[in-house]
Structure 1
Amino acid sequence: MDFREETPEEKRERLRQEELKGNPMGTFSDGINRAQFGSFADLVGGLGWKGTGILIILLVIGYVIYKLVF
């Protein structure tokens, strides 16, 4: 048996799975909305803190360029 501490990503996924098992129809609309519009939490969870920082920096740079041009 593995006694290591679970990572935050593993904990989030475990909690999500437990929620789906306990209330499948309550999370149905959430799933549809995430599939249609995406979810920032899922994006950040997949990128990690370095990827999230780079994404934020790129968005800020893009916004500044947009404001300068228009």
Structure 2
Amino acid sequence: MNNRQETPKEKRERLRQQELKKNPGGALRDGFSRGETGNLTDLTGGMGWKGTGILIVVLVVGYVLYKLLF
């Protein structure tokens, strides 16, 4: 057997996969409600600090361009 420690990300994914197998309907409903409400943590949770920084820069530049043009 492999002695390598499981990372938190791998553990979350393994638990998510187990939940999908046990209750596919509930997982689908959770996905829909998460998609409706959404939050910044879900958006940036999968990105690293570089991706989050680029997202912030794009949002700020987009807002400035919008204000300049309209």
Band of TM-score, shorter chain:
0.5 to 0.7
Q: Pairwise mapping of residues 46-65 of structure 1 onto structure 2 (< 5 A)?
A: 47-65=47-65
Tell me the amino acid that sits aligned with residue 30 of structure 1. Answer: D
- Runs of 4 or more, structure 1, over 3 Å off, are none
Structure 2 residue 68 is the aligned partner of structure 1 residue 68: yes
> Which residue is equivalent to 1:3?
3
What is the CA distance between 1:18 and its match in structure 2? 2.0
* C-alpha spacing 1:5/1:64, structure 2 compared with 1 (3 Å): farther
| Cα RMSD (Å) | 2.9
> Any unmatched runs of 5+ in structure 1?
none
Pick 1 or 2: higher relative contact order, CA cutoff 8 A, min separation 6.
1
Give SS of 1:58's match.
Answer: helix
Size of the alignment, in residue pairs? 66
